[in-house]
Amino acid sequence: MATARWRLDLAYDGAAFSGFALQPEHPSVVGVLRETLARTLRLAEAPYLTGAGRTDAGVHAWAQVVSLDLDEAVLDDEGAAGLVRSLNAQLAGRVAVRSARRVPEDFDARHSALWRSYRYLISTGPNVGPVSHVAWALNGPLDLAAMNAATGAVLGEHDFRAFCKRPADRGPDEALVRRVLEARWSALEDPAGLAGPGGLVMLSVRASSFCHHLVRRLVGAVVAVGQGRLGVEVIGARLASGSGEGLPGPAPASGLCLMGVGYEPRHGGASGTWTV
């Protein structure tokens, strides 16, 4: 039977899952979505899903993308809207399917991606209130000018092994080269006072791809710069040396959110933006 390729755009609360990728013993985004798709479409077996990126446990997403193949008799263009409604009713806020569309056969959520963008959110107030679920609470001021000066070192193509968790199949001397397209810190307005007595600070970063823990380890180091515990030259120095020795640990997962994935227009265009 002929198959068609489909693209689903997703949002989810990472606190509810042990990560994006399938984990038989633990709740995952892929696991719950596969089960719900199989039940809704009455499939004999759950479909294989390819994601644009594998977010860790606790990391959120506003614009994740998955691709999958379905028999043409199972779903057509007219049924896509109904599928989205049905999936969202069953997923009940754990995962939100933002859209479902048929795409060309050469589309692959991971390999067709042109860029990915993330947001990291920090509250400079205490760890209470509505934003504590999605932001790292530091309860103290940060020097944004110093943080932006330090972060500027990551722009362009670099060996990021000092900031990445090394894959099991890579040796300690192998480079982990990535290309960062844009990165900046900014203060956010909080007219509703959701951050309490503190303020909100955000890193927006976009790259062709990311290695494991890159954003969280970068945030951990740059926050130390913003607190005056490290100098602004530390990021560039660690990139040049390839060593992360002496750097703080990664920032908490709860502050990180996948905000967008870029694709060609024929593949449906970007799932989100590189900033909010």
- Point out the residues that are catalytic: 56
Phi and psi at 65, nearest 5°, equal -130, 135
Cα 246–Cα 242–Cα 169 angle in degrees, nearest 5: 110
Given the structure tokens 């926050």, which residue do they identify? 223
Burial 230-257 (b: 16+ CB within 10 A, else e): bebebbeebbeeeebeebbebbbbbbbb
Q: How far apart are CA 206 and CA 274, in angstroms?
A: 6
Q: How far apart are CA 275 and CA 259, in angstroms?
A: 7
Q: How far apart are CA 142 and CA 121, in angstroms?
A: 13
Given the structure tokens 């203060």, which residue do they identify? 187
**Which helix or strand (DSSP H or E) is residue 187 part of?**
strand 177-188
